[in-house]
Structure 1
Amino acid sequence: MRIAAALAALLLLTTACAAPEPADVASPDAGPVRGVVTEHQRQFLGIPYAAKPVRWQAPQPAEPWTETRDATKPGNLCPQEGTEYAKTSSTNEDCLFLNVTAPKTGEGKPVLVWIHGDGVVGGGSMFDPAALVRTGDVVVVTVNYRLGVFGAFGYPGLAGSGTFGLQDQQAALRWVRDNIEAFGGDPGNVTLFGESYGAQSVSAHLLAPASAGLFHKAVMQSPMTLLDLPAGSLMPGLEAGPWMAWRSTEEVTGVGSAMAAQFGCADPATAVDCLRALPPEQLFPLMRVFQAVAYGNEVLPDAPDAGYEQGKFHQVPVLLGMTRDEHRAFVGLFYELAGQPVTAEQYPQLLRTAFGDKAEQIAAEYPLSRFPSPSVAWADLLTDRLWARGTDRLADLISARNPLYTYEFADREAPSYLPFPDTFPTGAYHAAEVPYLFRDAGFDRDATPPQKELSEKMIHYWTGFARTGAPAGEGLPDWPRRATQTLAPGPDGIRHADFARDHRLDFWATLR
């Protein structure tokens, strides 16, 4: 799955920590930890929430300690291979660490637990929550979890196949429940939030029986939960099918059996042990093969579409949204940066490949004359067909049972961190909103004053939701349930949107 590597640059942010001041000690159940105090916060990095995992086994509790443990540096990243987009790498499987950032004083603070995106690269320490903590007066926890083949491998008869990374996240949530009070957080007010693959994980926890009660609110930023992929819509040559975030346990274990044979581990009686004996780096070619979470098992019993349609999700308030121009990131990556921008001659063929006999209707609804380039036309119609339609469907299903607030991040001048050509406007691309919440040095350098003001308002909305279950705050525009709130800079940038009209959902409904 090349998409995971390509999205790394969009989803991973470099930590920009303030200069440390005096040490501070907290005492979670496993043992005391010494972090650092900065001007606005206390921070504890690299706390083990589980023991060093056995490859492809469920996480186990961390061994307790008595001496004060240093918590001033991040823990090991989980095994991952660096790419030209994300210069991260690790072969250390002792990686189940989390980081806690809290206000300098106070107790009973709302807690936000961040699940990072991508699914094959990254780590919790790559996201600096200082702005969330400072502005929102909340405690933020960021988490490492097993990635790719280490988190989602499956084999016939292997307990937990396809769900080890998801089980890691559950272990982290249990740690938060049992320990966050020692850092000033309220274990009875935990919000789980994530973007892209992280939002996909949040949507899985809403369905997973063992996640019940471990969080009390959920934020899903650009989840792919109910998205499908017409042929060629994600990248050239990719066949039609569901988005690559879910697989049945049967499919995952079948792929695992085939891959084991290719790695010289063909004997079913010894295949898993044979693969466990391989150095981590030898398994890196399988990272994207095993990115998808498996369903149809004890951890995630139902297929996500069926689970949401049947109302089998936990009843907690939900904040759900997407960016205005989601798919420009993917067209930018797989066409523009590949040196093969979509041409006017290609456009009709792309439509025929993806939509067959409906291509002419779609071409009439999305004529090239309406867009600055064929690449933008292809990206925007797919934003509507994939992202807007899928997000709207998920919102309808959740709002039937849960308090739901929806948004669309619409800053079409958002700073871009990939070298897209100037001729390709990225707009409010996939993951563009993440730096507005986790404000790193790059955002503070590149953002305009109105964009920084939007960032402050978004942080107030997100942390207000964490505090009360409603995205609200003093001086902020009203945000009713199920009304899509447009989030953009400027005096009129935050308003209620006509989401269905803006994304032509009535038109797409006629083509089902």
Structure 2
Amino acid sequence: MRKSSILGRMSAAAAAAVLFASLGSGPAAAHGGAADVVRTDAGPVRGAVTDQHREFLGIPYAAAPVGDLRWASPQPVTPWTAPRDATRPGKRCAQLPLPPYLGGESEDCLYLNVTTPRRARAGLPVMVWLHPGGFTAGSGTETAPARMAVQGGVVVVTINYRVGVLGFLDLPALDSGLARHRSGNFGIEDQQAALRWVQRNARAFGGDPGNVTIFGQWSGGRSVCVQLAAPGAAGLFHRAITMSNPCTLNDVPKPDGSLDPEPLGLPRPRAQAEARGMAFADAAGCAEAHTVAACLRAKPADELLAHAEYLVFTPVYGGGGVLPDDPIEALRSGHVNRVPVLLGVNQDAYRTSDAFLEAYGYPPLTAEGYADRVRNMVGPAHVDRVLARYPLERYGVPSLAWSALATDALLARPLVDTKDILTAARIPTYAYEFADANAPWYANTPLPSFPTGSYQDAEVQYLFDTSYFAGRRLTPAQRRLSDTMIGYWTRFARTGDPNGPGLPYWPRSDPRRDTALRLAPGPGGIRPVDFGGEHSAGFWRAMS
């Protein structure tokens, strides 16, 4: 589900609505001890050490992509010799404002952050977080992973990568020079550059470069799917977790409920991406083919962003390059990096869309509007059948009925399909459903007129402290769920199996059953359920 899924290509405000000492050369630094200075392959960094964890912020993993390096593949950093201050995060990548995510102000933004337990033994699992934001917004600094690192005994790396038009512009004029591949996937190349940094430097922080998990939510989850399909990512990670974006998800509704032929926030074919790139260049005043690259590189970043649409500059596939094939087709054909996968969605994910619409002044969805959306989504031949399956009387509020229908059709069914593909290929797979009906709402957005339930994004605050949930507090029962989720995620990172001592049993996915582990607080809240049956996966499969 996209936060923009029911806004289409509206104004910026509307699009936003639907989506927040001494050098460490001795054994302590080499083996992840409590030293505040660690040697990286480019130079030493001095971080901060607390009673429980060490934190190293704002470490450059690639040169600043500015000037001639704008729309270039990531280049090596210039080494340094004196300890570099690593107590403050690097700047966020330049980006359009897209609440709840914070704004970005700089093209000099290719930085990462490393958090470890205070006294980490050598060989800890490494978990690399790929942030959400629809490939348009977000940063690695919006998540603070200290609790995950300490409780789970892992090294957590959060990264910035180029987003929006600066990360995913596709133009033939940018296909040469310092672009190692074709244009359109510089943000994906940034992610791979960060993973190569992890391979070179994990041991210095107490991590194991042979045990790296990539994980992400929303577009971060789709980034995980992209890296599974990317030949250049082979060997850079060994487990994968995709949250709220199963890899076969490929449909996003427009404001009227009809499915967008060019879905926002998803990877797109090269021909479509190039057409959009040329339209952008023309809008920016750089229409001459022989000067377009130089013209665009001469423009200030804020001027480029002013001409960029939301959620349309996304990873590009086909025609060679970083993604030679559609990632969905690569998954179906088995041409993927074969690693254990953990995946899941939120029970009430699509409530986020209507909630953000209300927050920005749109009237609540009406009964008539609900029926119209359903008709536009499934067509007049099927509307009665679908409305009978999701009668408004059952839910009471049109937005709740629409959320149930859209979550089932556009998220739950793709999760089942993705699970089936992975398990048929004998890839170890574990599926979950996050289902806390009382998850705290965003800190910077008013509550809508209906219960938000286990909405899109809600699960992130159970793994991290985040800027867009700042000040929110989990109840004791929710905190126990959070502890259990951290246990599952980090155990999976350690062994490829989330099960471990003190954790309720999580059955491995089976192609013969559509079971998932429900994650909810309270007695019996964590248990296997018939996910496919409860979300009408068979009904929606028969509709296609």
Q: TM-score normalised to the size of structure 1? A: 0.93
Counterpart check, 1:110 vs 2:110:
no
Which string of whole-angstrom CA distances, capped at 9 and with x for unpartnered residues, describes residues 470-510 of structure 1?
Answer: 01221111111114100000120000011111101122122
Aligned to 2:93: 78
Aligned to 2:43: 31
State the distance in 2 between where 1:449 and 1:56 align: 47
State the distance in 2 between where 1:424 and 1:473 align: 38
State the distance in 2 between where 1:359 and 1:238 align: 12
| CA root-mean-square deviation | 2.2
Aligned to 1:249: 270
Preserved CA contact (<8 Å) 1:133 1:140: yes
- Aligned with 1:190 (options 212, 224, 227): 212
Aligned to 2:23: none
Once the two structures are superposed, the pairs formed by residues 324-403 of structure 1 within 5 Å of their partners are 324-334=347-357, 337-356=360-379, 357-401=381-425, 402-403=427-428
Given the superposition, is the C-alpha separation of residues 279 and 431 from structure 1 closer, same or farther in structure 2, using an over 3 Å criterion?
Answer: same
State the distance in 2 between where 1:2 and 1:191 align: 26
Once the two structures are superposed, the pairs formed by residues 294-333 of structure 1 within 5 Å of their partners are 294-296=316-318, 297-333=320-356
Preserved CA contact (<8 Å) 1:156 1:253: yes
Amino acid at match of 1:395: K
State the distance in 1 between where 2:19 and 2:543 align: 33
Given the superposition, is the C-alpha separation of residues 102 and 124 from structure 1 closer, same or farther in structure 2, using an over 3 Å criterion?
Answer: same
State the distance in 1 between where 2:230 and 2:94 align: 25
Counterpart check, 1:458 vs 2:474:
no
- The percent of aligned pairs where both chains have the same amino acid is 46
State the distance in 2 between where 1:103 and 1:85 align: 29
Given the superposition, is the C-alpha separation of residues 174 and 426 from structure 1 closer, same or farther in structure 2, using an over 3 Å criterion?
Answer: same
State the distance in 2 between where 1:411 and 1:112 align: 25
State the distance in 1 between where 2:151 and 2:471 align: 15
State the distance in 2 between where 1:433 and 1:10 align: 17
State the distance in 1 between where 2:502 and 2:446 align: 37
Aligned to 1:474: 501
Which one is further off, 338-347 or 484-493? 338-347
State the distance in 2 between where 1:103 and 1:287 align: 41
Counterpart check, 1:410 vs 2:432:
no
Partner SS state of residue 101, structure 1: strand
Preserved CA contact (<8 Å) 2:346 2:435: yes
State the distance in 2 between where 1:454 and 1:265 align: 52
Amino acid at match of 2:462: Y
Query: Which structure 1 segments of 5+ residues have no match?
Result: 13-21
Given the superposition, is the C-alpha separation of residues 197 and 83 from structure 1 closer, same or farther in structure 2, using an over 3 Å criterion?
Answer: closer
Aligned to 2:260: 240
Once the two structures are superposed, the pairs formed by residues 134-153 of structure 1 within 5 Å of their partners are 134-153=150-169
Amino acid at match of 2:75: Q
Given the superposition, is the C-alpha separation of residues 31 and 257 from structure 1 closer, same or farther in structure 2, using an over 3 Å criterion?
Answer: same
State the distance in 2 between where 1:190 and 1:234 align: 37
Partner SS state of residue 47, structure 2: strand
- Aligned with 2:313 (options 273, 291, 296): 291
Which string of whole-angstrom CA distances, capped at 9 and with x for unpartnered residues, describes residues 293-322 of structure 1?
Answer: 100132011112211111111110000100
Preserved CA contact (<8 Å) 1:11 1:117: no
* 1:84 positional shift: 5.6
Preserved CA contact (<8 Å) 1:161 1:252: no
Amino acid at match of 1:74: P
* 1:511 positional shift: 1.2
Partner SS state of residue 377, structure 1: helix
State the distance in 2 between where 1:10 and 1:262 align: 25
Query: Which structure 2 segments of 5+ residues have no match?
Result: 6-11, 21-33, 176-181, 510-514
Preserved CA contact (<8 Å) 1:115 1:199: yes
Preserved CA contact (<8 Å) 1:59 1:171: yes
Preserved CA contact (<8 Å) 1:409 1:488: yes
Aligned to 2:76: 61
Q: 4+ runs of 1 displaced by more than 4 Å?
A: 4-11, 440-445
Given the superposition, is the C-alpha separation of residues 36 and 131 from structure 1 closer, same or farther in structure 2, using an over 3 Å criterion?
Answer: same
Given the superposition, is the C-alpha separation of residues 125 and 427 from structure 1 closer, same or farther in structure 2, using an over 3 Å criterion?
Answer: same
Which string of whole-angstrom CA distances, capped at 9 and with x for unpartnered residues, describes residues 414-471 of structure 1?
Answer: 0011645453111111111000000358577431110000000000000000001001
State the distance in 1 between where 2:98 and 2:347 align: 27
State the distance in 2 between where 1:218 and 1:444 align: 30
State the distance in 2 between where 1:424 and 1:306 align: 38
State the distance in 2 between where 1:239 and 1:391 align: 18
Preserved CA contact (<8 Å) 2:316 2:323: yes
Counterpart check, 1:430 vs 2:456:
yes
Aligned to 2:28: none
Which string of whole-angstrom CA distances, capped at 9 and with x for unpartnered residues, describes residues 169-217 of structure 1?
Answer: 0000000000111011111100000000001101000000000000000
Partner SS state of residue 3, structure 1: coil
Preserved CA contact (<8 Å) 2:441 2:447: no
* 1:359 positional shift: 0.6
State the distance in 1 between where 2:298 and 2:397 align: 51
Amino acid at match of 2:52: H
* 1:225 positional shift: 3.4
Amino acid at match of 1:394: T
Counterpart check, 1:178 vs 2:174:
no
Given the superposition, is the C-alpha separation of residues 215 and 246 from structure 1 closer, same or farther in structure 2, using an over 3 Å criterion?
Answer: same
State the distance in 1 between where 2:3 and 2:403 align: 18
State the distance in 2 between where 1:409 and 1:322 align: 6
Aligned to 2:233: 211
The size of the alignment, in residue pairs, is: 500
* 1:333 positional shift: 1.9
Aligned to 1:511: 543
Aligned to 2:115: 101
Which string of whole-angstrom CA distances, capped at 9 and with x for unpartnered residues, describes residues 255-277 of structure 1?
Answer: 11122122221111110110110
Given the superposition, is the C-alpha separation of residues 362 and 162 from structure 1 closer, same or farther in structure 2, using an over 3 Å criterion?
Answer: same
Given the superposition, is the C-alpha separation of residues 242 and 404 from structure 1 closer, same or farther in structure 2, using an over 3 Å criterion?
Answer: farther
State the distance in 2 between where 1:505 and 1:73 align: 46
* 1:81 positional shift: 3.0
Which string of whole-angstrom CA distances, capped at 9 and with x for unpartnered residues, describes residues 215-246 of structure 1?
Answer: 0000000115322436xx35347653253211
Preserved CA contact (<8 Å) 2:130 2:223: yes
Partner SS state of residue 325, structure 2: coil
Given the superposition, is the C-alpha separation of residues 242 and 10 from structure 1 closer, same or farther in structure 2, using an over 3 Å criterion?
Answer: closer
Aligned to 2:146: 130
Preserved CA contact (<8 Å) 1:234 1:330: no
